[in-house]
Amino acid sequence: MRPPYRLVWNEGIEADFRALAAIDHRLVRIAQDVAADVAGHHSHGNALGERRVSGDLTGYYRMRFDLPGRRPLRFRLVYDRPDEGTVRVIGMGQREASAVYRALAARRMQSDNN
């Protein structure tokens, strides 16, 4: 059995948690559980790549989540694997209008320019 990945939360993730809590406080725990499932090898996300709406998200993966029984799943948790033993949660947010992907692409551009 493989040991779990080390789970790291990206700098500034607190704003994403606050936004989820403003919608429904239960979403915070659900997002934490989704991240723990990825770190524990219980699930894995779909690879993102070049996206027409938000730009290049190559190297990132996404997991869908929402409140129990809610369909379609409205939220995304986006992570990467900076090394073999780590899962880093980059951001979380609403899927509607690709909002989470646009925000992450903007963060990526900003960090590339610094």
Task: Report domain extents, the chain.
Answer: 6-113
Provide the pLDDT for residue 114: 55
CA–CA distance, 81 with 70 (Å, rounded to integer): 29
Which class does domain 6-113 fall in?
alpha beta
Helices (H), the chain: 13-23, 26-39, 99-113
- pLDDT, tens digit (0-9, with 9 covering 90-100), for 66-96: 999 988 899 999 999 999 899 999 999 998 8
Kind of pairing, strands 46-47 and 6-9?
unpaired
Q: Which run of H or of E encompasses 9? A: strand 6-9
